[in-house]
């Protein structure tokens, strides 16, 4: 019995030992297979990788967001140009038209002063027939003039010249001037007697330039424009002359003048900056003058002649023919006030031989603007016969 129990125990112990051995074997084989499978899936040294799983596309794929580019630094914004300021100064532009009126008044007076040289303003009232060629500076003038006795009492005075002159913003670049007058001298009354003149000065065509200047908030503006003009004048003179001696003659007189000046219309010339431009219509300036004056002629040493003359001039009934249209100011019509000034003249003559005389002469004005202070001097060769 004891031998059977020992044998059974031996057999049972062996069976338990075998079962334990099998269990240990199974436990060792499982991790090895799992390790081989892991090495195959993880890309170990196996010859071919295991296929990876790719999911089937969705019928409505959601767009993958594209990577936004890194923002490039944008340049600083350039400042937008500020609008140009609007200039002011239309009132100054309108006032400049008054300056044009003053220029045109001076033009009328200067044309008359130059024309008087052709009527013998620097010569004695009564003398023999003569003719003179002359040239002058200050205002350029060149021409001839003279006198011719038609009867013992009646003489013709006449002349023709070409002139260029300017003053206070205007320039006359080309102007032929003609003048003539009749003088009646009561010679049969003796050495002291009255005399009378009637005459005209004609300048039918002139090339003229006028300058208009004004100020704006952005700076001054000056515009010079060209046009044509014409001047006409008629006058009457009543005086009294006396032959104090064979060498001296004095005279006093009153003159009445009517002057007209026709200026063709024009517009401002194109310049870089002229925000308040103007156009000037064709118009006629006019004025009336009265002059009270006198003169003295004296002969020194038988061969040197001298003459001085002068008088006060007053204008009245003056009218400017300017009608201007000025941008920003509308229509502008300047007024022309009455003016007063002094006119003077003189001559120094040298008798180089019988009947031949070389003259130096000057004429001008003294007074406020627009007439102002002017002088026109020249030289002439006079032949008496």
Q: Are 343 and 310 in contact (CB under 8 A)?
A: yes
Phi, psi torsion values for 297, nearest 5 degrees: -120, 130
What per-residue confidence (pLDDT) applies to 4? 42
Segment 158-163 shows an average pLDDT of 97
Sign of the dihedral through C-alpha 244, 245, 246, 247: negative
CA distances from 122 to 43, 52, 77, 294, 304 (A): 133, 130, 79, 11, 14
What confidence category does residue 336 fall into, taking pLDDT thresholds of 50, 70 and 90? confident
Q: What is the pLDDT of residues 339-367, one digit of tens each?
A: 999 999 999 999 999 889 999 999 999 99
Segment 100-104 shows an average pLDDT of 97
Q: Are 112 and 341 in contact (CB under 8 A)?
A: no
Domains and CATH numbers, the chain: 90-384 (2.40.128.130)
* Secondary structure percentages of the chain, helix, strand, coil, to 5: 20, 50, 30
Segment 117-123 shows an average pLDDT of 96
Q: Which residues contact 176 (CB under 8 A, 6 or more apart)?
A: 160, 161, 162, 163, 203, 204, 205
Please say if the pLDDT value at position 154 is more than 60: yes
Task: Kindly report whether the peptide bond that precedes residue 370 is cis, defined as omega within 30 degrees of 0.
Answer: yes
Q: What is the pLDDT of residues 42-79, one digit of tens each?
A: 343 344 444 444 444 444 444 444 445 555 555 565 55
What per-residue confidence (pLDDT) applies to 337? 86
Lowest mean pLDDT among 57-66, 89-98, 99-108: 57-66
Segment 283-291 shows an average pLDDT of 98
Instruction: For residue 136, give the nearest of 385, 347, 332 by alpha carbon.
Output: 347
What per-residue confidence (pLDDT) applies to 233? 98
């Amino acid at each position: 019995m004891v031998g059977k129990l020992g044998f059974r125990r031996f057999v049972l112990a062996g069976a338990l030992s075998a079962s334990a051995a099998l269990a240990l074997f199974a436990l060792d084989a499982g991790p090895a297979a799992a390790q081989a499978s892991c090495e195959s899936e993880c890309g170990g040294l196996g010859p071919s990788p295991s296929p990876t799983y790719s999911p089937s596309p969705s019928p409505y794929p959601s767009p993958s967001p594209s990577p936004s580019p890194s923002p490039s630094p944008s340049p600083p914004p350039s400042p937008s140009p500020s609008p140009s300021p609007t200039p002011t100064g239309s009132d100054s532009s309108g006032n400049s038209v008054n300056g044009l009126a003053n220029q045109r008044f001076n033009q009328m007076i200067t044309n008359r002063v130059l024309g008087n040289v052709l009527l013998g303003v620097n010569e004695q009232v009564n003398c023999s027939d003569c003719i003179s060629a002359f040239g002058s500076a200050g205002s350029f003038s060149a021409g001839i003039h003279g006198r011719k006795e038609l009867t013992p009492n009646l003489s013709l005075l006449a002349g023709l010249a070409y002139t260029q002159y300017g003053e206070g913003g205007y320039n006359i670049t080309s102007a032929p001037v003609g003048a003539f007058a009749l003088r009646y001298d009561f010679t049969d009354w003796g050495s002291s007697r009255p005399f009378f003149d009637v005459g005209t000065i004609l300048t039918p065509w002139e090339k003229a330039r006028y300058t208009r200047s004004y100020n704006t908030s952005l700076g001054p503006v000056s515009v010079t424009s060209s046009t044509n003009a014409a001047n006409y004048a008629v006058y009457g003179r009543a005086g009294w002359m006396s032959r104090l001696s064979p060498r001296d003659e004095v005279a006093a007189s009153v003159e009445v003048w009517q002057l007209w000046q026709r200026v063709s219309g024009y517009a401002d010339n194109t310049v870089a900056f002229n925000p308040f431009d103007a156009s000037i219509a064709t118009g006629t300036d006019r004025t009336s003058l009265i002059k009270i004056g006198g003169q003295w002629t004296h002969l020194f040493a038988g061969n040197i002649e001298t003459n001085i003359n002068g008088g006060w001039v007053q204008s009245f009934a003056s009218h400017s023919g300017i009608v201007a249209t000025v941008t920003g100011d509308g229509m502008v019509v300047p007024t022309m006030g009455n003016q007063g000034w002094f006119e003077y003249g003189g001559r120094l003559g040298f008798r180089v031989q019988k009947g031949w005389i070389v003259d130096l002469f000057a004429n001008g004005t003294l007074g406020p603007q627009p007439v102002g202070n002017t002088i026109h001097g020249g030289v002439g060769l006079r032949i008496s016969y």
